[in-house]
Amino acid sequence: MPSPAFHWHALTPEEVTKEWEVDLARGLSVEQAASRRERVGPNLLPQAPRDPAWKQLLQQFINPLVLTLLAAAVIAAVVAVLEPARGHSGLSRFSDVIAIALIVVVNALLGFFQERRAAKALDALQKMAAPTAKIRRDGGVVVEPASVLVPGDVVELDTGDQIPADMRLAETADVEVEESSLTGESTSVPKSARALCSEEAPLAERSNMVYMGTSVVRGRALGLVVQTGASTELGHIGTLMATTKEEPTPLETRLAVTGRWILIGCLVVSAIIFAVGFLRAEPNVAMLLLTAVSVAVAAIPEGLPAITTITLALGMQRMAKRGALVRKLPAVETLGCSTYICSDKTGTMTQNQMTVRAVSVGGHRLEVEGEGYKPIGAFLRGGEKIDATQHGDLQLLARAVALCNSARLELKDGAYKVLGDPTEGALLTLSAKVGQARDQLLESHELVREIPFSSDRRMMTVIVRDPEGKEHAYLKGGAEKILPRCKWVRLAGERVPATEANLHAVLDDADAMAARALRVLAVARKEEVGDDPEDELELLGIVGMMDPPRPEVRDAVVVAHKAGVKVVMITGDHRLTAVAIAKELGLWGEGDVAVTGAELDDMSAQLLEERVSRVRVFARVTAEHKLRIVRALKSRGSVVAMTGDGVNDAPSIKEAQIGIAMGQGGTDVAREAADMVLADDNFATIVVAVREGRAIFRNIQKFIFFLLSSNAGLVMLVFATSMMDWASPLTPLQILWINLVTNGLPALALGVDPPEDGQMREKPRGVAEGLLDTRAYLGMVAVGAIMAAAAVYLYSLCPPHRGETPDEHLGHMIHARTMVFCVLALSPLFHTFNCRSRLNSAFRGLFSNRFLWVANLISAGIHLLTMTTVLRPVFQTTPLTPAEWGLVLGLSALPILAFEVWKLLIRSLGGVKATAVADAS
């Protein structure tokens, strides 16, 4: 068998059949097919290996913070075994161990179920492959699963068939193929078996080839299979997707860095405590271990993974209400730091619905309003609306394009859709706008004969019998084919002889339309058919059409630019068409350039990285080109959002940090590869998602600052008391309770804090930018020091007395611990209001986040439960007097008082400028 790397499009059908040793009439024999299938395998697409469930669950525990907590649980268990007489009995001795282990398991299960999503993109690719094919075998035709196809098989194709493999066409009859999902072309493509292409011809220009995953929209053909399975163009895309690795999102990277620093700090503090203990010749090694466990539990924000997950999930729900369905949680935040949106043109920036935008008729140039296939829109001449029903020449042209048409326009589920060729759908919409609907015309006109469009003729003719029994011919096609056949021209309601001057005027109009990237068709008729219905015609006019931009995209592009996000168009369409759309959308500016796929092939990776920042349009590109573009932008440190809807978009969607697919017009492949799906196919929804992503990141910063500053107080307290050779002021269980239960709900409420003004006027944050800056870390130390100082003061109020019994000593220590426990549980609740803004007073917009008030009240109430008779033995607490409660509350409010003074000082020093920055932040 020949190599699958042959340039089959550069060979004639006879040369291809000779290479594959097959007779077109008989096809392969059953034995030949079986032998080849054994060599090349079934006609199936490649699948990426998937991790089993147990491995996915195990990966949740392979995390430095989680492993540290597990080590702390083991140490706590050892201490519980070695020191059984600590006032506990039975399982209560292991309460710390159970609490730590429970937290680890819950976090692991949350992560497991969140990440337990199958990468279904390759499954969707499998579904796209045609399930059956009409195959010539041993002189007969059999219908078999497409998976049995082998190179050399002869396949019959009809209108509506999906292409089951890559094939060189051997015979064609008026064939057009829909390839937009593979090439990005917005119109169906004529195919001809007689065409020959150069070896360098890009996929979109191989007019003698058809490819797996595309479909026949017109005509019949006979195809010779040349590539199957992974060797097909669709299979190549599947291979690219299978080998494309998912990289961590910026948020995941930042959280990992933060986690490593927390771990390092935890180990350093623990090491110092151990060193000091040994220098003091501390005899109780178990207590040293228990102190180390307390430091680990105090330093690690155990609730951070769960709170981050819940915050992102809530953001996901808000986005869903706006039409953005997020499939992967970190993508909610990633959008907020995007610096580039690489958008497919067809179906994403445009409507993927051909629309007539201009008409030259009766000597008048008319602009046509309206979008898509909806038959509503005005006609303008010189900017003024005209009454289309009173324009006789326009009425005649509309009747011609309605009758010379084989498509159907129908209303389904509130939207107009076209059954058939998109170009003919645009012409049907035009005629309906004029009041010449095809269905109504067919009630009084009879179609006698049709001479179909072909790639050679480049025109279509129908013979129609009118209500009076007269036969007329109506034609449409390329201007270069129609105009030379015209003897007459329709001008100002009259038929006048075609002259060089009036035909030249029509060609000028056609050139003006082409310069706007409109596809131009000429329309003509012949009143008396005669022997040749395509000769001595009367030119009725020309129409210019295009796949128009979505009306809301231009405004969305403006907002994106203000937010510092660059928008780049990537399309399989022609350069001229793409640049015209880019200019209409406001993407194109002075100094911008457009690059084609052929030019990309001549660029090295280094050259592309140097030039990619100036390119606003990439045209005639393939799946490999799109991957190169995304990778070039990423290599420059950009955070790339890639949007698209076709099969050809899927690998680059998966490669980008944030992949976005269309929900209505998109393919299953693109949707399954994406992080986010636009349910309304609305480009403007992306900008809404960017705004939401920025708000979510800001809120994540708020609750991380809150959690870490609260933990800093716990760590400083444990460290200070160990340095003073005091007994541990809190048990590991009390620390866990503060970290998870008391602080958990307020942190979650900060995660849904309302967005601040000015976020969409800021530049995207840098990739290397950490979750928190130096000022935030200094603030954490300050808050931690205030909380720790208050706790140390309370702990010092209950020193041991001379002569007291061990039980009395234990009672004093428990009472001191209770006050410390209360102040470290309640002071973070006051601190939450500090965390809402770095410069604005906590009292500004005090009640704008009602969830924060509810969360603080619930947390305070839950903490009071530990003071009840039932839970006192578990948490080792005692009742407090009213005076002690007053002292605890006063000390708990110190962080908010200190921060108010600090913010006031900054605002006073910065004046108006600081206030403006605060508002923008």
Q: Which two tokens stand for residue 139?
A: 């002189």
Question: In this structure, what DSSP letter does residue 182 have?
Answer: H
Handedness of CA 224, 226, 231, 232 (dihedral sign): negative
Angle subtended by helix axes 894-920 and 882-892, to nearest 10: 30
Active site residue 555: no
Question: In this structure, what DSSP letter does residue 754 have?
Answer: P
Give residue for tokens 């990426």.
48
CB contact at 8 A, 43 and 147:
yes
The whole-angstrom separation of Cα 820 and Cα 912 is 41
Q: Which two tokens stand for residue 284?
A: 């109780």
Provide the phi-psi class of 414: left if phi over 0, else alpha when psi is between -120 and 50, else beta: left
Active-site choice (161, 166, 344, 649): 344
| Nearest by Cα to 178 from 218, 223, 151, 145 | 218
| Nearest by Cα to 588 from 562, 563, 557, 612 | 557
The whole-angstrom separation of Cα 315 and Cα 479 is 53
Q: Which two tokens stand for residue 862?
A: 């839950």
Backbone angles phi, psi at 202, to 5 degrees: -70, 165
Handedness of CA 146, 151, 152, 157 (dihedral sign): positive
Residue 267 has a CB neighbour count (10 Å cut-off) of: 16
Backbone angles phi, psi at 801, to 5 degrees: -105, 155
Terminal C-alpha separation, the chain: 66
SS3 197: coil
Q: Which two tokens stand for residue 789?
A: 């100082």
CB contact at 8 A, 671 and 661:
yes
In this structure, which amino acid lies at residue 313? Answer: A
Q: What is the DSSP string of 51-104?
A: --HHHHHHHTT-SHHHHHHHHHHHHHHHHHHH---SS--GGGGGHHHHHHHHHH
Angle subtended by helix axes 683-723 and 304-321, to nearest 10: 160
> What is the CB-side half-sphere exposure of residue 10 using CA atoms within 13 A?
8
The whole-angstrom separation of Cα 539 and Cα 193 is 32
| Nearest by Cα to 72 from 304, 258, 302, 306 | 302
Which H or E element spans position 590?
Answer: none
CB contact at 8 A, 741 and 844:
no
Backbone angles phi, psi at 770, to 5 degrees: -75, 175
Q: What is the DSSP string of 570-627?
A: E-SS-HHHHHHHHHHHT---TT-EEEEHHHHHTS-HHHHHHHGGGEEEEES--HHHHH
The whole-angstrom separation of Cα 765 and Cα 694 is 9
CB contact at 8 A, 690 and 340:
no
Q: Which two tokens stand for residue 893?
A: 């409010």
What pairs with residue 549 in β-bridges?
A: 350
SS3 651: helix
Residues annotated catalytic, as ranges = 344
